[in-house]
Amino acid sequence: MLQKFKIYLPALLILLALFGVASSVHAQQNTALLLEINGTIDPGTANYIERGIKTAHQAQAHLIILQLNTPGGLDKYMRSIIHTIEVSKIPIVIYVAPNGARASNAGTYILLASPIAAMAPGTHLGPALPMNMGDDEELIQKVTQDNIAYIRSLAQRNDHNADWAESAVSTGASLTAEAALANKVINLIADNVDSLLKNLNGATVKLGEKMITLDTTAMTVTQLTPEWYSQFLSVITDPNVAYILLLIGIYGLFFEFVRPGLIVPGVIGAIAIIIALYAFSLLPINYVGLILIALSIIVMPIKLFMPRLGALGILGLIFFIIGSILLLTMDMIGYQIAWYVIISMAIVTALFFFLILGMAMRSRQRRIKKGD
């Protein structure tokens, strides 16, 4: 009996191995990875999408679904996401969802970058207008023409309506899901992810030089949530957060300067400034605004040392407000420092320098006199 088992053991192991490979292949062919963009296109979003598509390749997933709901975002990171989509060896479906979602500005470009574009009912697409660049007509024209060429190339490459794509940039055109389907801007409308998979079954997708037929029968969907680093990037590159971190850092370092030896304000201030400067390095900041804020921080404390020059405190506050307004070079949804934040922080900064640091300076001077 033992002898027979030894004879059949190799054959049994081979059969088990083949069964395991077949099961693995089947599982891989019926797995879709779901990624979600729900908010502005920022460094954190680009990091999340890049990592997600890399994870899908490592897991040998059969399909990637990129669910989109965005008002737009930064051009640099939009183009990074589009490049990642274009070099993917796994078909990617862009799906604007859920009901009420939109793909505007950068989101419009991302949708047109995919060979399969889908929308949920009650969603809309567009516009894809260039950011506000002030009154420089020549610059506006150049940027508009560049954007038109780019969005048309994306649409033509993926068999979407290139004429409508151009109008999204030139005239700010928008479409509902139904109108987008009728105008051949998207490929299908689906109520949810399950409906999307059902409609995709048997569809052919051009991937590089190959045509791939999708088999979504019994396909399982795995959602990938953003890791901590992607979330961290998204938080700190919010203009309001980066701005507040910068000011917290300044307050901390000044307080440590006036009351040396406390350590905690200095450490917190240094960390906050490092994070803020890293965030601003990822954002299109206006250095004139940054210089004006720095100048205001230098001018306002002079009143503490030279009370007769009180007008400098007012001038410093004016520099602070103007610098805060000019700090970011963009006029785009989600990428301007809110007015209420600027006014609030101007009041806090004035109170900090004129009251808190003033009291700290007077307390320090009294201690010195007692010591004498």
Q: In this predicted model, what pLDDT tens digit does every residue of 230-277 receive, in sequence order?
A: 999 999 989 899 999 988 888 888 777 767 777 788 899 899 999 999
Q: Give the integer Cα–Cα distance in Å for 302 and 284.
A: 31
Q: What is the mean pLDDT of residues 291-307?
A: 73
Q: 97 is written with which tokens?
A: 């969802």
Taking the model in full, what pTM does it have? 0.79
Phi, psi of 327 (to 5 degrees): -60, -40
Instruction: Tell me if 359 sits within 8 A of 330, measured CB to CB.
Output: no
Asked if the model's pLDDT at residue 9 lies above 80, the reply is no
Q: Give the integer Cα–Cα distance in Å for 142 and 314.
A: 41
Domain 30-228 fold is 2-enoyl-CoA Hydratase; Chain A, domain 1 (3.90.226)
Lowest average pLDDT, out of 3-17, 32-46, 60-74, 104-118, goes to 3-17
Question: Which residues of the chain are in CATH 3.90.226.10 domains?
Answer: 30-228
pLDDT at 22: 38
Q: Determine the residue type at 50.
A: E
Q: Give the integer Cα–Cα distance in Å for 106 and 72.
A: 4
Q: In this predicted model, what pLDDT tens digit does every residue of 277-290 receive, in sequence order?
A: 999 888 888 888 88
158 versus 10: which is more confidently predicted?
158
User: What confidence category does residue 195 fall into, taking pLDDT thresholds of 50, 70 and 90?
Assistant: very high
Residue 333 burial (C-beta neighbours within 10 Å; 0-12, 13-18, 19+): middle
H or E element, residue 64: strand 63-69
